């Protein structure tokens, strides 16, 4: 299983946003591209991938590639599904999520609760300018990559992540968008031991 947690600091917490202006809706376009990068291949969906969008530290929307249905990679379609999820936020109570549609659930969890829950399931990876360059690192089992949207981690988020991180990696010399980082991470995992592919 590969997992990604993406922090959407300014993302809307209600369904009251316009699909015509995703950038204006707290840069929801970035989060939508993250979902696409995480779950889609050309003409297919990856197996065993989960992506958790943390919405304004209040809700977390989980996409599970193994059970997702009727999702398409364009930003607007993904945003419409996020809107559906937020529309059902009242159904998420305590640890019980709102089951939005196959493969999608909304939890009343902020970053700390989501990270706590997911950290036990794999190897938490912190992406950091001082980390080991990907080509020099060994892919961990069941990696959990934690990423931020267009803004940096807050001090508190960075602290929580440092406490949980099992591995520190560096994607490259350029600072990529979160969705681009997901694509690079997938390819790194896909091609580890490249002589065999």
Q: Which is nearer to a copy of itself, 154 or 164 (CB)?
A: 154
CB of 193 to a copy of itself, least distance (A): 10
Is residue 141 involved in binding a copy of itself (CB under 8 A)? no
* Distance of closest approach, residue 47 Cβ to a copy of itself, in angstroms: 11
By CB under 8 A, the residues from 25 to 84 that bind a copy of itself are 29-30, 33, 36-37, 40-44, 46, 72-77
Q: Among 14, 16, 23, 166, indicate the residue that binds a copy of itself (CB under 8 A).
A: 23
| Minimum CB distance to a copy of itself smaller for 93 or for 136 | 136
Taking CB under 8 A as the rule, does residue 133 contact a copy of itself?
Answer: yes
Q: Is 154 in the site for a copy of itself (CB under 8 A)?
A: no
Shortest distance, CB of residue 74 to a copy of itself, whole angstroms?
4
134 binds a copy of itself (CB under 8 A): yes
- Phi-psi region for residue 26, left (φ > 0), alpha (ψ -120 to 50) or beta? left
- Which of 181, 168, 186 is closest to 34 using CA atoms? 181
**Residue 138 touching a copy of itself (CB under 8 A):** no
Two tokens, residue 79: 């945003």
> In this structure, are residues 123 and 108 in contact, taking their beta carbons and an 8 Å threshold?
no
Both structure tokens of 47: 């197996």
Q: Site for a copy of itself (CB under 8 A): which residue of 16, 95, 116, 172?
A: 172
* Residues within the interface to a copy of itself (CB under 8 A): 19-23, 29-30, 33, 36-37, 40-44, 46, 72-77, 133-136, 150, 170-178, 180, 183-184, 186-187, 190-191, 194-195, 197
């Amino acid at each position: 299983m590969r997992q990604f947690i993406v922090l959407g600091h300014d993302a809307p917490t209600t369904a009251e946003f316009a699909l015509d202006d995703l950038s204006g809706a707290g840069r929801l376009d970035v989060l939508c591209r993250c979902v696409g990068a995480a779950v889609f291949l050309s003409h297919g969906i990856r197996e065993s991938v989960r992506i958790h969008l943390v919405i304004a530290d209040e809700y977390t929307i989980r996409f599970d590639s193994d059970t997702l249905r009727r999702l398409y990679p364009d930003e607007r379609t993904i945003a419409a599904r996020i809107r559906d999820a937020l529309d059902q936020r009242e159904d998420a109570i305590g640890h019980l999520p709102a089951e939005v549609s196959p493969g999608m659930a909304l939890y009343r969890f902020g970053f700390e609760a989501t990270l706590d829950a997911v950290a036990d399931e794999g190897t938490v990876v912190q992406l950091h300018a001082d980390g080991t360059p990907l080509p020099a690192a060994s892919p961990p089992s069941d990696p959990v990559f934690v990423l931020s949207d267009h803004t940096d981690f807050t001090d508190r988020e960075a602290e929580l992540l440092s406490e949980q991180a099992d591995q520190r990696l560096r994607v490259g010399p350029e600072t990529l968008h979160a969705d681009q980082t997901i694509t690079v991470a997938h390819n790194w995992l896909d091609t580890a031991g490249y002589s065999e592919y």
